[in-house]
Amino acid sequence: MNSLIKLFPSYEDVFYDDIENHKKYFLPICSFNLKIADPNRDQWLHIISVKEIYDGRVGEEKSAFYTEFTQADSFGFDVIDGKYRFDADWNFFSTSTVITSDQYGQKFSDLDIEYNMNDAMYQLKKAYYQKHNALYDKDGDRPGLTVDDIRRLERLRQLTVEDLENDPESDFLKERLEAKVFGIFEKLNTELKPMEDLNFAGNNIDQPMVNGQLMDFIASVDGYDWQLNAADYIHLFYDASVEKAVICLEYT
C-alpha cells in the first residue's frame, strides 16, 4: 500500500479530540495525503462513513442541529492539524445504542440493530484487511444476515476472518477492486475539476458550497466495501480557505 494512504485508520489518527463521541457515530475508512493527487499539496484528509446508515437519510429528522455543512446525509468537519472535528451537535444522530451479547433477547429498533450490524461488519472487514493487507473481495452472500430480527446481529458477530477466507472466490469483485484508483477510490479528482465535468455521480446530493462557490470535490469510495448497509458513494469535499471537509453520502 502507498505510504500516503492508510486504510481503516485509528480514530486517534483521524479525529482531533472528543474521540469517544466520534467513535460512537463514525467509521474511519481511509486517510490519505493530497500528495497522491498533487505533489505540491501536503495535507492529510480522511474519508469516513456513518454507523447509523439504514433507512432514509441520516439526520433528516434533526434539522434543529444542522450547520452550514452538516445536514441530511452531509457531515461537516473542521480540519485541525490534519485531523477532523465534527462541526455539529451530537444530537444530530439518532442512535448510539450498543447491543451486548446478553441483550439479544430484548427488543430493539431496526435502526439500533443496523447501527450495530454496520459496526460489526466494519470490524470484521478491518480484521480481514489487517491480516491480508487487502480488501475483502470474495462472494460473501449470507442469507442469515437478512432475517427480520436480532438474530442477524448475533450471526454476524459469530463470523471470523477465517470464515471470510473460506468464502467462494469472485472474479467480478476482484476485477472491480483492481479497477479502482489505488485499489480504493471510485474517483480521485487529481485535476480538481467540478464534479459535473468528471461525468461521475453527484446527481443525488447537494454539493457543499463556500462563499457561493462549490467546494472542491476530492475523492469518492464505494460504501459497500466497508460496512453492511451503506451509501453507494461516499464523497469527500474540502476547502483549504476555511479548513473544512465535508462528507456526502449518495444513493444511486
| pLDDT band per the 50, 70, 90 thresholds, residue 252 | confident
Q: Do 221 and 30 form a contact (C-beta atoms < 8 A)?
A: yes
- Taking residues 67-89, what's their average pLDDT? 97
| Beta-ladder partners of 239 | 244
Mean pLDDT of 54-71: 96
Residue 78 DSSP one-character state = E
pLDDT band at 28 (very low <50, low <70, confident <90, very high): very high
Extract the C-alpha cell encoding 229: 448497509
The total number of structural domains in the chain stands at 1
The three cell numbers locating residue 22: 466520534
Q: Is the pLDDT of residue 72 over 80?
A: yes
d(CA 138, CA 144): 17
pLDDT band at 190 (very low <50, low <70, confident <90, very high): confident
Q: What percent of the chain has pLDDT over 70?
A: 100
Q: Output phi, psi for 213, to 5 deg.
A: -115, 145
pLDDT at 62: 97
| Contacts (Cβ under 8 Å, ≥6 apart) of 220 | 185, 186, 187, 200, 201, 233, 234, 235, 236
Read off the pLDDT of residues 129-176 as tens digits, 9 standing for 90 and up.
999 999 999 998 888 898 888 999 999 999 999 999 999 999 999 999
pLDDT, one tens digit per residue, over 92-135 is 999 999 999 999 999 999 999 999 999 999 999 999 999 999 99
How many residues comprise the chain?
Answer: 252
Per-residue pLDDT at 204 exceeds 70: yes
- Helix ranges (H only) for the chain are 11-14, 19-25, 110-132, 151-158, 161-165, 171-178
Question: How would you classify residue 30: left for phi > 0, otherwise alpha for psi between -120 and 50, otherwise beta?
Answer: beta
Order of strands, sheet of 5-7, starting from the edge strand that comes earlier in the sequence: 5-7, 26-33, 44-50
Provide the domain limits for residue 241.
5-250
In which band, very low, low, confident or very high, does the pLDDT at 38 lie, cut at 50, 70 and 90? confident
Residue 26, pLDDT score: 98
Q: pLDDT for 42-53, tens place per residue?
A: 999 999 999 999
| For the chain, percent of residues with pLDDT exceeding 90 | 88
Band (199; pLDDT cuts 50, 70, 90): confident
> Mind listing the pLDDT tens digit for each residue in 2-18?
899 999 999 999 999 99
pLDDT mean across residues, the chain: 95
Say what the pLDDT of residue 1 is: 59
Whole-prediction pTM: 0.95
- 74: which 3 cell numbers? 452531509
